[in-house]
């Protein structure tokens, strides 16, 4: 998965997609986010459980443990290793959902620059990506070391032609189970290893190469490219 995505709807659209009846602790605001070209280090709305409540916070995309100061903060974690590797050990229990509208990948099709593609649900509903992180909860206020990573898996079907890795995305039912603190760690691992959404629920199409510049942030970036 390449490091670019969109999160442009408002928090209540994403809450509706999760269908969690619990009261919401909303620290992300009520206005549409309008992030059409979000890059790593961007503050994004992240959902997690805080006791009996669903909570939304603005959290930086990217995280690393305090002892790994000599490397850049990863933005993704491989599903094959995340539950057992030492790097993410401290945040593996801290499960979250990053709800997005789409993500982008780049494919070499000839010429000097790769061609960007936008990937979204065929029905254009929000995409619920499995994530883990360090974030505000209970008495833990926002801190400089907060951040999250998106869990990724091997691509399959036609999507593998776009990129060999993709986010692990979950149905609303499984996203609620992933977030539930009562879900055992072993069950959580099985969810992301075996029960992510299939390729068939997605569609993808070419978009303007302007999305390659993080300074470009307009809605036009998510429009299908019209061939000359």
Reported as a single tens digit per residue, the pLDDT across 142-186 is 888 899 999 999 877 666 657 678 999 999 999 999 999 999 999
Query: Could you tell me which residue, 138 or 4, shows the higher pLDDT?
Result: 4
31 confidence band (pLDDT: 50, 70, 90): very high
pLDDT at 135: 96
pLDDT of 120 higher than 90: yes
1 confidence band (pLDDT: 50, 70, 90): low
228 confidence band (pLDDT: 50, 70, 90): very low
> How far is the C-alpha of 140 from the C-alpha of 99, rounded, in Å?
22
pLDDT at 34: 97
Q: Which residues are catalytic?
A: 2, 105
pLDDT at 204: 94
pLDDT of 205 higher than 70: yes
Domains in the chain, please, with CATH? 5-222 (3.90.1680.10)
CB 222 within 8 A of CB 6: yes
pLDDT at 163: 65
pLDDT in tens, 50-74: 999 999 999 999 999 888 887 889 9
pLDDT of 109 higher than 70: yes
Rg from Cα positions in the chain: 17
Torsion angle of the four alpha carbons 28, 168, 162, 159, in this order, in degrees rounded to the nearest 10: -130
- Tokens standing for residue 117: 């593609």
DSSP string, 106-171: EE--SSSSPEEEEEEETT-PPEEEEEEEE--BTTB---TT-EEEEEEEE--GGGGGT-SEEE-B--
**In the predicted model, what is the mean pLDDT of the chain?**
92
Mean pLDDT across 106-113: 87
Mean pLDDT across 132-142: 89
What phi and psi, each to the nearest 5 degrees, are found at residue 178?
-60, -40
> How far is the C-alpha of 225 from the C-alpha of 106, rounded, in Å?
14
Instruction: Determine what percent of the chain is predicted with pLDDT higher than 90.
Output: 79
């Amino acid at each position: 998965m390449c490091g670019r995505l969109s999160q442009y709807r408002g928090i209540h659209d994403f809450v509706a997609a999760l269908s969690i009846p619990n009261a919401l602790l909303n620290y992300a605001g009520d206005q549409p986010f309008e992030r059409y070209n979000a890059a790593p280090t961007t503050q994004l709305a992240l959902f997690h459980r805080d006791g009996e409540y669903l909570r939304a916070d603005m959290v930086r995309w990217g995280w690393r443990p305090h002892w790994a100061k000599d490397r850049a903060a990863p933005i993704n974690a491989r599903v094959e290793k995340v539950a057992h590797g030492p790097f993410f050990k401290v945040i593996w229990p801290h499960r979250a959902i990053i709800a997005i509208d789409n993500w982008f990948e780049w494919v070499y099709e000839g010429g000097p620059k790769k061609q960007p593609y936008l990937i979204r649900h065929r029905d254009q509903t929000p995409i619920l990506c499995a994530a883990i992180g360090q974030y505000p909860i209970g008495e833990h206020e926002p801190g400089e070391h907060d951040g999250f990573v998106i869990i990724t898996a091997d691509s399959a079907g036609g999507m593998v032609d776009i990129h060999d890795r993709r986010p692990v995305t979950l149905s609303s039912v499984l996203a609620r189970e992933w977030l539930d603190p009562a879900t055992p760690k072993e069950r959580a691992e099985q969810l992301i290893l075996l029960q992510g959404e299939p390729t068939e629920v997605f569609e993808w199409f070419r978009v303007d190469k302007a999305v390659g510049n993080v300074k470009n942030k307009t809605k036009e970036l998510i429009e299908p490219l019209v061939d000359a």
